[in-house]
Amino acid sequence: MKLYTSSRAPNPRRVLMFMAEKGIAGVGLVPVDLGKEEHRAPAFTDLNPMAQVPVLELDDGRTLAETRAICTYLEGLYPDPNLMGEGFEERAFIEMMDRRCELQLFLRIANAVRHTHPGLAVLEQPQFADFGTAQAEKVRDTVRWLDGVLANRDYVAGERFTIADITAFCALEFARGLMKFRPAEEGFANVQAWRDRLAQRPSAQVL
Amino acid sequence: MKLYTSSRAPNPRRVLMFMAEKGIAGVGLVPVDLGKEEHRAPAFTDLNPMAQVPVLELDDGRTLAETRAICTYLEGLYPDPNLMGEGFEERAFIEMMDRRCELQLFLRIANAVRHTHPGLAVLEQPQFADFGTAQAEKVRDTVRWLDGVLANRDYVAGERFTIADITAFCALEFARGLMKFRPAEEGFANVQAWRDRLAQRPSAQVL
């Protein structure tokens, strides 16, 4: 299999971290340069009409896009360790937390960065800086919620590491790099402690 | 089980349509009045801190939020007819299409409506009308893509009805009501024909 990816982009990082946690080796990485708009060239949009990385190319040539859908496929091929839930009940509750992290945290951070960062004007056309600034404020609301969640448990979806930790971690690392967002400085000690623990995992080093 | 829902809101409609397709009966509906901000009252945010409908209350009292996570749970309890894929490979490809419909269609329509409709100012604080208008333009890009998909197949994710059809249908019905968006008038005949076929299903009548 081949993974089309972009170095340091947050969505590819989610898949790379997911693969590292499972010890999946042998997937070739094909770099896509977003700054040069390679993701909008026909050679790439033939693989994913949404013009987004990552994309997984299967051995039979079919291509699978959308970060979480790629993880669903890899979870099926490489079930251990389980990261998305055993059985439908646990899968549903982990999906709930993963979606909250994706829709209320990751997406707000992405909106804040893409609509306000001059270097990302090529990716977000047109930018709306006032919308981006308001989204950055809402990021704080979500991190406040997450801080409360992590007051009572060690991981986002419960007592073990799951895909929801990956989604939240990659979102907050993106915010750390491009919004200079530090949970401890904002008063979110539980999120900071969780983030610092996750940053020790070998999978967190893969970019 | 009980489902906290709001009449005519698009996300609750996705779950109601999903249940109707499976013939799930006996789930009590608990109305939540978004106009009166009941979703922001502690009685509701105790069930879902994200202050969003729908929420499924299980028989043991636990609450499950997030539309697609609720569907994952119901698919496990009521496997027939299958709407989310048999086995991990089909599940992944259906999830890819469902996510495209949710993130590129549903969310853009929701952003367009919530940021521009005066009647939704209470739900979206603050509104950014210029961002909303730009999102409405991008809805056309996604419908153009969907029109191409439906040129070659009868349903969004392949040759059978799945959750991806529900997501796209509920998004476009929301756009029909609040943005007066008619696919045929925009030149998207395949989407219009698919929409008109889906509108004949009994599950499409549930609001």
Q: Which residues of A touch B126 (CB under 8 A)?
A: 134
Q: What pLDDT was estimated at residue B123?
A: 81
Report the residue of chain B nearest A70, measured CA to CA.
Answer: B92
Q: What pLDDT was estimated at residue B119?
A: 82
Its pTM stands at 0.97
CB-CB neighbours of A70 under 10 Å: 25
Q: Cα dist. B20→A155, B11, B25, B81, B139 in Å?
A: 35, 14, 8, 11, 27
Between chains, do B72 and A87 touch, taking CB under 8 Å as contact?
Answer: no
Q: Is the pLDDT of residue A8 over 90?
A: no
Q: What is the pLDDT of residues B45-89, one digit of tens each?
A: 999 999 999 999 999 999 999 999 999 999 999 999 999 999 999
Between chains, do B91 and A76 touch, taking CB under 8 Å as contact?
Answer: yes
Q: What pLDDT was estimated at residue A118?
A: 87
Q: Is the pLDDT of residue A123 over 90?
A: no
Judge whether A61 is closer than 8 Å to chain B, CB to CB.
no
Q: What pLDDT was estimated at residue B207?
A: 78
Size of interface A-B (CB pairs under 8 A): 82
Between chains, do B134 and A128 touch, taking CB under 8 Å as contact?
Answer: yes
CA A65 – CA A50 distance, rounded (Å): 9
Report the residue of chain B nearest A77, measured CA to CA.
Answer: B88
Q: Cα dist. A174→A8, A12, A146, B33, B78 in Å?
A: 9, 12, 16, 36, 39
Judge whether B78 is closer than 8 Å to chain A, CB to CB.
no
CA A89 – CA A96 distance, rounded (Å): 11
Mean pLDDT calculated for residue range A112-124: 88
Which residues of chain B register pLDDT less than 70?
none
Q: What is the pLDDT of residues A25-51, one digit of tens each?
A: 989 999 999 989 999 999 999 999 999
Q: What pLDDT was estimated at residue B120?
A: 84
Record the tokens describing residue B197, joined without a space: 């076929």
A24: left (phi over 0), alpha (psi -120 to 50) or beta: beta
